[in-house]
Amino acid sequence: LPAVYSLDGLLVFGLLLVCTCAYLRKVPRLRTWFLSERRGIWGVCHKAAVIGTRLHVAVSMSCLLMAFYVLVGK
């Protein structure tokens, strides 16, 4: 729980949210179930999925850099 209050934890959480929602968008049955709503918490998931699919190169590079930082830097 203390990791959530640090900048590192917040960045990891954001990257995992974007990556997970982008993955769920690629699965047809899950896409209609999770990402059909565009308001509320499901709207946040929908927007994260759009960011993940449109900026997939930047998101994947950010994930690699964050993994390197967490494994080596900390």
- pLDDT tens by residue, 9-27: 888 889 999 999 888 888 8
Per DSSP, 38 falls in state: -
Q: What is the mean pLDDT of the chain?
A: 84
pLDDT at residue number 64: 92
Question: How much is the average pLDDT of 42-56?
Answer: 88
Contacts of 32 (CB under 8 A, 6+ apart): none
Neighbour-count burial for 12-47, b at 16+ CB within 10 Å, e otherwise: beebebbbebbebbeeeeeeeebbeeeeeeeeebbe
**7-21, 22-36, 59-73: segment of lowest average pLDDT:** 22-36
Give percent helix, percent strand, percent coil of the chain, each to the nearest 5: 85, 0, 15
